[in-house]
Amino acid sequence: MAYLDISKVGISFARAGIRTEVLREVDLQVERGEYVSIIGHSGCGKSTLLNIVAGLLRATAGGILLDGKEVNAPGPDRAVVFQNHSLLPWLTVRENVGLAVDKVFRGRKSRAERRDWIEENLRLVNMMHAAEKRPAEISGGMKQRVGIARALAMEPKVLLLDEPFGALDALTRAHLQDQVMEIHARLGNTILMITHDVDEAVLLSDRIVMMTNGPSATIGHILPIPLPRPRNRLELVEDAASVHARAAVLEFLYARHAAPALAA
């Protein structure tokens, strides 16, 4: 059985007596150490799917197993990096990571070990120099790095990234993508990432999951990206397999499942 097993997951919301089915029969198996991206148009329910895996939303049909255990509540084994970083503005960078570390490892690590672990994770994302700064004092890219450090520091079984680079400028985004790739290579994390950026998906993923449009969205196609690692963004621009993968994703998104507004 797969490490993360999403089977026949569906969710519908009732508002004012009208039921809207957002996701239907979503089936996805993710292996340990795999990097899987979910791509789709806005409103296709990809963030909803991530929130179900995180436990922040309850599926109305189907279920999710992680490492053989059912997922039915949020927990640090499924750490989330939120799109808007979600750092607590009244805590310093160190305290933000510390809040997670102290909560998750209390009783398992001594105070000194926890302090070292906080610093190790800040060093991993190159943020040790700003450890005593507050979120308002650092840039958007730096905040997102701290968000990643906080998530990694929980030692999650699966790392959930919800459009982690969506709010960043192109140069910062490229830099952060490289860092995430490096961390993935070094630690072998299992990662599930939401994105709407085709290049990003091809660069980072082992597989790209393409969602159909909602309502009742589901997985339309899963594309394996058989590019060898480590990957280099400059080489991928010319690489035939990469160009082919990009074309396949674009074809899915713009020809077969064009955005609802465009198709109408």
Partner 1 sequence: MSMTATKAALPPLRRTAEATTRRGSGHAGTLPRMAQPAAAPKRTPIGPKLASLAGSLATRILPPLVVIALLLLLWQLLCSRPGAGLPPPTKVLTDTWDLIVDPFFDNGGIDKGLFWHISASLQRVAIGFSLAAVVGVALGTLVGQSTWAMRGLDPLFQVLRTVPPLAWLPLSLAAFRDGQPSAIFVIFITSIWPIIINTAVGIRNIPQDYRNVSAVLRLNGFEFFYKIMVPSAAPYIFTGLRIGIGLSWLAIVAAEMLIGGVGIGFFIWDAWNSSKMSEIILALIYVGLIGFLLDRVVALAGNLVTRGTSAH
Binding site for partner 1 (CB under 8 A): 54-56, 74-76, 78-80, 82, 84, 86, 88-90, 99-100, 103-104, 134-136, 154
For the bound state, the minimum distance from the C-beta of residue 9 to partner 1, rounded and expressed in Å, comes to 19
Measured from the CB atom, is 57 or 209 closer to partner 1? 57
Select 88 or 243, whichever has its Cβ closest to partner 1: 88
CA 189, CA 79: separation in Å to the nearest integer?
11
Residues 6+ apart with CB under 8 A from 240: none
The distance of closest approach from Cβ of residue 96 to partner 1 in the complex, given in angstroms and rounded to an integer, is: 9
How far is residue 81's CA from residue 222's CA, in Å, rounded to a whole number? 23
Confirm if 64 and 74 have CB atoms less than 8 A apart. Answer: no
To the nearest whole angstrom, how small is the minimum distance from the Cβ of residue 47 to partner 1? 12
Q: How far is the CB of 236 from partner 1 (least distance, A)?
A: 33
Q: What are phi and psi of 12, to 5 degrees?
A: -135, 150
For 185, other C-beta atoms within 10 Å of its C-beta total 13
d(CA 91, CA 242): 42
Residue 191 Cβ vs partner 1, minimum distance, rounded to whole Å: 16
Q: What tokens does 9 get?
A: 């997951």
Nearer to partner 1 by Cβ, of 85 and 257: the residue is 85
Tokens of 187: 């630690």
- The residue among 44 and 104 lying less far from partner 1, judged by its C-beta, is 104
Least distance between partner 1 and beta carbon 105 (Å): 11
Q: Which is nearer to partner 1, 86 or 218 (CB)?
A: 86
Distance separating alpha carbons of residues 231 and 131, to the nearest angstrom: 30
Q: Which residue has the tokens 């074809």?
A: 251
Give the helix ranges, DSSP H, for the chain.
46-54, 93-105, 111-124, 140-153, 170-187, 198-204, 233-238, 240-251, 260-263
Of the pair 90, 254, the CB lying nearest partner 1 is at 90
Q: Which is nearer to partner 1, 160 or 203 (CB)?
A: 160
Least Cβ distance, residue 158 to partner 1 (angstroms): 12
